[in-house]
Structure 1
């Protein structure tokens, strides 16, 4: 259970770093640029903790799927970036894939 908490913390850091990347305006704003470094370094640190328990492929699938949903939400809320129906359907399919992995696959255990 702690492993999944670390995964969520890693995704939260990565989402923060990605939002700061957008806000940094190509690294021309100091504090958002600092946020990019903090977010990505923190995310990668917690990602390595998860890899002690879960295999890389499963971990990366979960990391990228959850992160994509969160950063799409942040883009919508903070940066007024809209998603069309095909993008929302694609995100839904990725979420369905994450659910299939966690509910039915035995591959997510070492």
Structure 2
């Protein structure tokens, strides 16, 4: 369970770090880059903690996919960026992919648990 919390924290830092690029880099370039690199570094740190228990492919896919969706939401809300039909469709496909990856992870974990129980 803790590994999933680390993954959520990694996603949070990725979203804030990436969003800070547009907020800080133009007005305060040195501070902006420092904040961005620090937050992205923390994101990778927590991602590395999560992959101790979560398969690396699953963790990376969720980190990147959820991050893209949340960064897009932040961009629309804070920076008045526009969402077109294709962007919305792409985000929908990302969300479907995230759900498929997550459900595939659960079914594999159940099979492994059932297999281990039969062997014991």
Q: Specify the TM-score bucket, using the shorter chain as the normaliser.
A: 0.7 to 0.9
**Cα offset for 1:32?**
2.3
**Whole-angstrom distance in 1 between the partners of 2:26 and 2:56:** 30
Larger Rg: 2
TM-score, length-scaled by structure 1: 0.86
Q: Report the equivalent of 1:22.
A: 22
Q: Between Structure 1 and Structure 2, how many residues are aligned?
A: 108
**Whole-angstrom distance in 1 between the partners of 2:70 and 2:23:** 16
Structure 1 alignment gaps of length 5 or more: none
Q: Report the equivalent of 1:101.
A: 101
Structure 2 alignment gaps of length 5 or more: 113-120
Greater Cα shift, 96-105 or 56-65: 96-105
**Whole-angstrom distance in 1 between the partners of 2:77 and 2:87:** 16
Note closer, same or farther for the CA distance 1:54–1:24 as it changes in structure 2 (3 Å cut): same
Contact 1:69 1:91 in 2 (8 A): yes
Give 3-state SS (helix, strand or coil) of 1:39's partner.
helix
Q: Report the equivalent of 1:50.
A: 50
Give 3-state SS (helix, strand or coil) of 1:83's partner.
coil
Greater Cα shift, 96-105 or 18-27: 18-27
Q: Which runs of 4+ in 1 moved over 3 A?
A: 24-28
The two structures, once aligned, show a CA RMSD in angstroms of 2.0
Q: Which has the higher helix share?
A: 2
Q: Report the equivalent of 2:31.
A: 31
Note closer, same or farther for the CA distance 1:7–1:15 as it changes in structure 2 (3 Å cut): same
